[in-house]
Structure 1
Amino acid sequence: MKATKKYENKKILVLGLAKSGVAAAALLHKLGAFVTVNDAKEFDQNPDAQHLLELGITVITGSHPVDLLDEGFVLIVKNPGIPYSNPILEKAIKKHIPIITEIELAYQISEAPFIGITGTNGKTTTTTMIHQLLNSERQKGQAYLAGNIGFPASTVAQDVTADDVLVTELSSFQLMGVDEFRPHIAAITNLYEAHLDYHGDKAAYLAAKWRIQENMTSADFLLLNVDQPVFQELSHHTQATVIPFSTAKKLDRGACLSQGVLHYNQEEIIQASELGVPGIHNVENALVAIAVAKLSGVSTAAIKATLTQFSGVPHRTEYVGDVAGRKFYNDSKATNSLATEKALSGFEKSRLVLIAGGLDRGNEFAELIPHFKGLKAAVFYGETKEKLKKAADSAGVETVHLVDTLEEAVPSAFSESDEGDAILLSPANASWDQFPNFEVRGETFVALMKKLSK
């Protein structure tokens, strides 16, 4: 960890806990700051706050009192999920109190360089691919996962050396709170409309993502998806060295898909059919990972071996097993139609049985109709089953079953499948009608698959 007296004897407010808030508060306390933590959850139901109090940190819970700012704080480290419309933050902005997120704090103390991955879709899979690639033949140091995946960056950054590298998945929320943060390699996987309730509009969302490159120089590398016109334009507005990637056009420089082969700077790396995970979206993810690996000195042989064996990230089009010749895929993370569209693109529909359904948020699923066409069968469950059936009927899907629960859906899907088929859970809905989160939903799917084999 870099030695710093920057925060010594400074009054700092950590707003919001969860993993990143706890990590930031503990680090600032270690650096000699006078830390106050403020979290909305009541103290008796807040083990994180109780732990920090035991460390000697001032803890205020149950609400976010605006008069806290009368205490003379010189900095706020906020939980990324707390919007800037929070009254404390609005007042802090008026008082010109700097506001950062925990990733900025991690950067300031890290001896290791950062690789930063952001975008709307594919961040977790791409970050995980990169992590595995950079450790595949590493002789010195280690690549660490941090940020939205793995451990909080400010925890990991305390122990790394200059021989290591931090591979970080970064959200738009985190990037709004950076100041000095400068990754050596950064990538924006893609950009679609998302989190507009937080950002207000797509322009503000893009601006937050674009902050990943604001401190980069020509010695740093920025990977941009040139299939999207917005990044073709923005590629001319950065100091970083731009590395383009594309699944739609052949590139002489950068990473691209051409005639079913993934290339980097015109070198053939791997056949798309050899990737361990299916779908054009995973080709896009792999192109980013290949470019980062090549820029980091990883050999083509190691890249190919790693990506061939890569089985995905839990709950994201993850291959989870084979029962009687049927391959099962868990895509429980698909909590909206766009994610399910991406998953469906990776399969031969005539050999695919889809399981979908979940919480009704008012969507009619018309956007899924063209992607349902050609499905061998579909099983829909939960609150949205009737709406999904309407879309499947419009798509001409001949075999559709409606059930109440996922527990009924899995054996129903199996009964409609034959040897050589795939069974995919890609719900297109949030899980909260029947499960506390998408992880539990995915774990339940895997358990039900295993039950079929008994």
Structure 2
Amino acid sequence: MFLIIGCARSGLAAAKLALTQNEKVGLYDSKTYDKLNQSSQQQVSELENQGVCLFLGEIFRSTEVTQLIVSPGVPLEIDIITYYKEKNVPIMGEFEYASTFCKAPIIGITGTNGKTTTTSLVGEIFRAFNPKTYVVGNIGQAFSEKVLEIPEDGIVIAELSSFQLETTTKLKCSISTILNISPDHLNRHHTMENYINAKFKIINMNAPIILNQEDGYLKDLITSLSADIKTFSSKQPVACGTYFKDGQLCQNMLQTQSVVCNEDELHILGEHNIENALAAISIAIAYGVPMDIIKKELINFKGVEHRIEFVRNINGIKFYNDSKATNTGAAIPGLLAMKGPTRLIAGGMDKHSEFDEWIQLFEGRVKKVYLIGETTNQIIDTCKKYGFDNVESYDTLDKATLVAYEEGEFGDNILLSPACASWDMFESYEQRGNLFKYIINNLEG
């Protein structure tokens, strides 16, 4: 029996995929049926009608289980996984399981921050180059949902999280990319070493590797690996790759060095998006995409929802939705991208992160911080540590947003950039960002 762990999108997709292979399939979740969301309940019922054995709210121990397939959102330390690990049952993540059916090349993109923007941009470039391009993974489309329809002459662009990579053992990306590394998900990985090691599993030593030359955790990797490494830098020229200089995005990977485009031609804001664009250019050149396609898609790209997304201007007060900033490494670029004084809405689930580096940027930039969620007290304490006192907590995002607007003045930015995960109050960062936009769009101008 193939036992699938987790009844969210990836696990359900893996169960459906396993069924197509005439496997005996079991589906486990620690939640009972009534605790699943409505969509999961419907799909679970359909799978049961197709012969899937359900084990909901109870640990299933059986010698029948020959393969465990784990959804990325499930910690590997839970009892049922520990049990089968001790029984030497093979454990595979949903993404890697799906990859065993894929005959098309896979371009893998990971990093603490910028994954979704870069993956989306790379997807647009590659779709213009090859319409049979599929964007999957952490970006919202489970690989298992699409893999059987991907032709051999297609291309897979995959956003890969540390959760997806930590179970990986045999994945071979045709191009692998690490955008950056900063502390994140330490409640899951426990140590930075574990987190970094998960990220490094994306690397395929026999294929091009794209790395950020300016990232402290990647510098040693760049010098130590004997592989085809291309680098990108937002600060200085590189030996072989892409870089930003004098307001221009440049490349020296081809025989002739050239300017790809000017910064002011881009629609995405901030130095971090310069880096995302440089990484995308490097990936596309490494694959052989013509430069005219790269430039056209680059300057047409409008960014992604929930990432420094402009929402509305009301009486000179601009609202930005940066709900995807679920850690300080992502929140810092959002804050730095703001032009003018900012009223910052922040806070959320505690991932055992530190907020010092982010909060040290508040002075001279942030007028006031409006906090929600589990991390409220920790952020307040850290603000006090650095002498920033204009901070207040609220029970709901609605209240925090309305007070920020009431206190706002002409020329202010109101920025939702939580620096925390959403799961203490919301199902996802998307739900959090959509609520923020709903609140803003219902304010009277």
Instruction: Select 2:337's aligned residue among 323, 333, 346.
Output: 346
Structure 1 position 147, deviation (Å): 0.9
- 1:325 deviates by 4.8
Matched, 1:195 2:180: no
- State how far apart, in whole Å, the 2-side matches of 1:192 and 1:363 are: 10
Q: CA 1:226–1:363 in 2, change beyond 3 Å: closer, same or farther?
A: closer
Q: For residue 291 of structure 1, what is the aligned residue in structure 2?
A: 282
Distance 1:91 1:369 in 2: 42
Specify the alignment match of 2:68 in structure 1.
Answer: 76
How far the C-alpha of 1:152 sits from its partner, in A, is 1.0
In 1, are the aligned partners of 2:346 and 2:416 still within 8 Å (CA)? no
Match of 1:318 in 2: 309
- Tell me if the contact between 1:248 and 1:257 (Cα under 8 Å) persists in the aligned partners: yes
Is 178-187 or 232-241 further displaced after alignment?
232-241
Q: Secondary structure at the match of 2:181?
A: coil
| SS of corresponding position for 1:167 | strand
| Structure 2 counterpart of 1:231 | 218
The aligned counterpart of 1:256 is 243
Judge conservation of contact 1:326–1:423 (CA < 8 Å) in 2. yes
**What are the Cα deviations for residues 324-363 of structure 1, in whole angstroms up to 9, with x where unaligned?**
4544210122234333222112223xx1322223448598
1:188-223 Cα deviation digits (max 9, x unpaired): 111122222322322222222111124x41xx2111
Q: Is the 8 A contact 2:66 2:90 kept in 1?
A: yes
Alignment check: 8 A CA contact 1:372 1:395 kept? no
SS in 2 for 1:17: coil
Equivalence for 2:231: 244
User: Over aligned residue pairs, what C-alpha RMSD do you find?
Assistant: 3.0
Residue by residue over 1:85-122, the C-alpha shift from the partner in whole angstroms, topping out at 9 and shown as x without a partner, is: 23333333333322111111221111321111111111
- After TM superposition, list the pairs within 5 Å mapping 1:21-420 onto structure 2: 21-46=11-36, 47=41, 48-65=43-60, 67-68=61-62, 70-71=63-64, 73-135=65-127, 137-138=128-129, 140-214=130-204, 216-217=205-206, 220-235=207-222, 238=225, 240-265=227-252, 266-348=257-339, 351-359=340-348, 361=350, 365-375=355-365, 377-382=367-372, 405-414=396-405
CA–CA distance in structure 1, aligned partners of residues 201 and 15 of structure 2: 24
By how many angstroms is 1:151 displaced? 1.7
**Which consecutive residues of structure 2, in runs of 5 or more, have no partner in the other structure?**
none
Q: 1:208 to 1:260 in 2, by over 3 A?
A: same
**Distance in structure 1 (CA, Å) of the matches to 2:216 and 2:109:** 19
Distance in 2, matches of 1:15 and 1:434, equals 24
CA distance in 2, matches of 1:275, 1:77: 41
Counterpart code for 1:256: Y
Deviation, 1:450, is 2.0
Aligned-residue offset at 1:161? 1.0
- Kept after mapping to 2: 8 A contact 1:355/1:380: yes
Q: 1:88 to 1:418 in 2, by over 3 A?
A: closer
**Alignment CA distance shift 1:30-1:332 (3 Å):** same
Alpha-carbon shift at residue 420 of structure 1 (Å): 5.7
Contact kept in structure 2, 1:247 and 1:284, CA below 8 Å: yes
Alignment-mate amino acid for residue 193 of structure 1: P
Q: SS of the counterpart of 2:100?
A: helix
SS in 1 for 2:370: strand
Shift of 1:408: 4.5
CA deviation map 1:135-173 (0-9, x unaligned) = 2x33x4322111111321022111011232111111122
SS in 1 for 2:54: strand
Separation in 2 of the partners of 1:123 and 1:248?
20
Matches within 5 A, 1:4-15: 11-15=1-5
Partners of 1:323 and 1:182 in 2: CA distance: 49
Normalization by structure 1: what TM-score? 0.84
Letter in 1 for 2:59: H
What secondary structure is seen at the aligned counterpart in 2 of 1:141? coil
Give 1:74's aligned amino acid.
T
Q: Describe the superposition over 1:221-268 as per-residue Cα deviations: whole angstroms up to 9, x where unpaired.
A: 111122234423323555652111122321141011222322121421
CA separation in 1, counterparts of 2:269 and 2:89? 47
Range with bigger deviation, 177-186 or 421-430: 421-430
- Scaled by the length of structure 2, the TM-score of the pair is 0.86
Separation in 2, partners of 1:84, 1:90: 7
Match of 1:7 in 2: none
Shift of the 309–273 alpha-carbon distance from structure 1 to 2, 3 Å rule, reads: same
Asked if structure 2 preserves the Cα contact closer than 8 Å seen for 1:221 and 1:242, the reply is yes
| Aligned counterpart, 1:448 | 439
Q: Which residue type is aligned with residue 44 of structure 2?
A: A
CA distance in 2, matches of 1:205, 1:40: 25
Contact persistence 1:378–1:400 (CA under 8 A): yes
In the TM superposition, residue 371 of structure 1 has moved relative to its aligned partner by: 0.9
The code of the aligned residue for 2:169 comes to D
| Percent identity of paired positions between Structure 1 and Structure 2 | 35
Offset of residue 385 of structure 1: 6.8
In structure 2, distance between residues paired with 1:40 and 1:398? 42
**CA distance in 1 between partners of 2:10 and 2:353 (Å):** 33
| Contact in 1 for aligned 2:179/2:276 (Cα 8 Å) | yes
Provide the C-alpha distance between the structure 1 equivalents of 2:46 and 2:226, rounded to a whole number of angstroms: 43
